[in-house]
Amino acid sequence: MTGVMDPSMLYRQLLLIRRCEERLSTLFADGLVPGFIHLSIGQEAVSVGIISQLRTDDTVASTHRGHGHALAKGLPLEGFFAELLGREGGLCRGRGGSMHVADMDIGMLGANGIVGAGASIALGSALAHKTLGRDAIAAVVFGDGALAEGLVHETLNMAKLLTAPLLIICENNGWSEFSPTDRQIAFTLGGLASAYGIRYEEVDGNNVTAVHEAATPMIAHVRGGGGPVILECRTTRVRGHYEGDAQKYRDSDEIDSLAERDPIRIAADALRAGGAADAALTAIADSVEQEIDVALTAARAGPEPDFTAARADVYSPVAA
């Protein structure tokens, strides 16, 4: 998805990501998704509000909680599901799974299993855009937990020094894995941005319209050669660090209160306030379910990956 979208399309994107992850949650509970998955339920407005505005040639490096980022960048749904299910038809042929979904042709440089690692990868991608004279930009998404990683600090310094066309997005959900971030981070990102001299904005990350409006001038600044910017999105992690995490470390009142800030509810209310009929919202929901059904059915029917082909793909083919 690229370009500026109207509110009902933003709503549809939010719903698509939510419903995909809800399906994944069920499939995971049924033992059909191997490995670990980290869901971004409650955080969808960040992906949709920012990444859906990027162009296909813009590049994004993501995190372990990256399904929303990937889908907002435009990953084909069937290839996405097939990857998470470990099928040959997966975008990465079943080699990477949830933590490594990528689609280079549309600038999705991959989710990442290493906290903070996407920052320097996106920096390098930004420098490639600049060096090669392209007006594409690179974006990195990381969570507040990544603020404790040294690599993120190195990246901020280098991005500023080299005026890299880098959009830095912090999804601040208040949790660093199993610990509240205020017990992990001694500083604020706004204060850090100031120290590096990087333009900074903070936005309600659960309001897709607000995120979208905050991101538009930031993206224009980066694309115009103004150097890196940081957009901190205050958001909510509804599920555990990973699926299966019972979240015993969280207060049940806190989890219950998250419904008030549900980005889907906020977007739906805004659409209704703007005159949208309930029937229109239902139609969007139905079309999302249908799209997911088709993709998931096809993905599940696909073959298992071939070990010999995987084994042969560690290095590039040797030129004759």
Partner 1 sequence: MSTLGYGRAVNRALADAMEADPSVVVWGEDIAAAGGSFGATRGLLDRFGSTRVVDMPISEAAIAGAATGAALSGLRPVIEIMFMDFTTLVMDALVNQAAKARFMFGGQRSVPLVLRTPHGGGVNAGPQHSQCLEAWFAHVPGLKVVCPSDAASAYGLLRAAIDDPDPVIFIEHKALYATKSDFPEDPQPMRLGEAAIARPGRDLTIVSYGGAVHTALSAAVELAADGIEAEVIDLRSIQPWDEAAVLASVARTHHLVVVHEAVEMFGVGAEIAARIADIGFDELDGPIVRVGAPFMPVPFARALEIAYLPDAARIIAAARRAID
Residue ranges in contact with partner 1 by CB under 8 A:
59, 61, 90-96, 100, 102-105, 109-110, 112-114, 117, 119-129, 131-132, 138, 150-151, 154-155, 157-158, 161-162, 310, 313-316
Q: Which of 129, 143, 158 is nearest to 222 (CA)?
A: 129
* Burial bucket for residue 26 (CB in 10 Å: 0-12, 13-18, 19+): exposed
CB of 297 to partner 1, least distance (A): 22
CB of 133 to partner 1, least distance (A): 9
CB of 291 to partner 1, least distance (A): 23
Cα separation of the two ends of the chain = 39
**Paired strand residues for 199:** 229
**Paired strand residues for 60:** 108, 139
Q: Which of 113, 58, 67 is nearest to 91 (CA)?
A: 67
Residue 61 has φ and ψ, to the nearest 5°, of -110, 135
Q: Which of 196, 271, 181 is nearest to 234 (CA)?
A: 181
In this structure, the strands spanning 175-176 and 179-180 are antiparallel
CB of 147 to partner 1, least distance (A): 15
Provide the 3-class DSSP secondary structure of residue 295. helix
Cα dihedral 109, 110, 116, 120, rounded to 10, equals: -20
Cβ closer to partner 1: 61 or 288?
Answer: 61
Cβ closer to partner 1: 103 or 262?
Answer: 103
Cβ closer to partner 1: 15 or 137?
Answer: 137
CB of 119 to partner 1, least distance (A): 7
CB of 75 to partner 1, least distance (A): 12
What is the distance between the alpha carbons of residues 296 and 242, in angstroms, rounded to a whole number? 21
Cβ closer to partner 1: 131 or 308?
Answer: 131
Cβ closer to partner 1: 122 or 214?
Answer: 122
Cβ closer to partner 1: 151 or 288?
Answer: 151
Cβ closer to partner 1: 49 or 227?
Answer: 227
CB of 111 to partner 1, least distance (A): 10
